[in-house]
Amino acid sequence: MARKNLLAGLLDEKLPAGNSVATPQPDGLIQSIHGLQSSAFGPRGGAIGAVTRSIEQMKAHSVIDLVAEIIDASPIADRLADTDNDHHLLVASIRDHGQQVPILVRPHPGQEGRYQIAYGRRRLRALKELGRTVRAIVKPLTDEQLVVAQGQENSARTDLSFIEKALFAARLEEGGFTRETIMSALSVDKSGLSRLISSAVKIPSNIIEAIGPAPKAGRDRWVELSTRLDGAAAIEKARKAADGVQFSTLSSDERFSKIFEALAPKKSKAVRPTIWKSEDGLRVASIRDDAKAVTVTIDKAVAADFGAYLVETIPEIYAAFKRRADA
């Protein structure tokens, strides 16, 4: 009877109150579970199989310790490469204070005994470098649930730049995810998603990678950059700017500014106005004639009445012009 009650408790999917997050489990527990699966009772067979499945269900809602080498990247990348400075700061913080926040992983859908990360990639990289185990929440997630968790966690972080969100959105769409799923992952509406995907598609990936996340650039300037990169000539100009000797030594935001300025539209030369004087020498009007418009400015201090007369007689002047043109 005691054994029956024990198994009933293990088979119950609900954890007791207060145990929704368990204390980290030693690697030996993980190894013993795999050992039970391949025991003489057969894989996941009989009472041992039931116990194994129940423990795995408990693990799926717990924080456990995992070896970093068995955790694989998410199938959809959501960030550009970390700067060395940011990475070194994170490594130092974890070395001194330990891992404060668990990462989220799911059991790998195609490889037994391995996991895929949903979020916490930079923490994983730092812990792997330090040779430490990784505190992780293990949850069974579908592909859609994985990218939604990945996107929502990163969207809540202030250091995820516009272009990183844009790349993530474009990669999700390229991976076959619906726009509804992508909007949920990034917490954006339809117009916001369109701007993200459009920017990522218009800017060549090698230019984005050369610039990096550029967090201070902001949405509007990234969108403007995508507009400026219209045509092969503009793209070639951006690539030449990125190939400069000093380019790689600049910060990501400085690299963005370098390319952004290289693609700035040329300013038209200011046209000096022509001053028209009356027979008695008064500077009555200034005339500016450029590629866009002809502007006549009447100086009211000199000839206010003439300005009013000119406005009043414009219809007559235009009619006279038309008669002469049609003659």
DSSP 217-247: THHHHHHHHHHH--SHHHHHHHHHHHTSTTG
Are the C-beta atoms of residues 66 and 100 closer than 8 Å to each other? no
Q: Could you give the CA distance from residue 170 to residue 27 in angstroms, rounded to a whole number?
A: 38
Q: What's the whole-model pTM score?
A: 0.51
Q: SS3 for 74?
A: coil
pLDDT band at 8 (very low <50, low <70, confident <90, very high): very low
pLDDT band at 106 (very low <50, low <70, confident <90, very high): very high
Q: Provide the pLDDT for residue 235.
A: 92
Q: Where in the chain is the domain with CATH 3.90.1530.30?
A: 70-131+138-160
pLDDT at 125 over 80: yes
What does residue 288 show for φ and ψ, rounded to 5 degrees? Answer: -115, 120
User: What does the pLDDT look like over 36-59, one tens digit per residue?
Assistant: 333 333 444 555 555 555 555 545
Q: Provide the pLDDT for residue 276.
A: 87
Of the candidates 144, 66, 132, the one whose C-alpha atom is nearest the C-alpha of residue 105 is 66
User: What does the pLDDT look like over 197-253, one tens digit per residue?
Assistant: 998 889 998 899 899 888 889 889 999 999 999 889 999 999 999 988 789 889 999
Residue written as tokens 């693609």?
263
CATH of 70-131+138-160, one of 3.90.1530.30, 3.40.50.1100, 3.30.429.10, 3.40.50.720: 3.90.1530.30
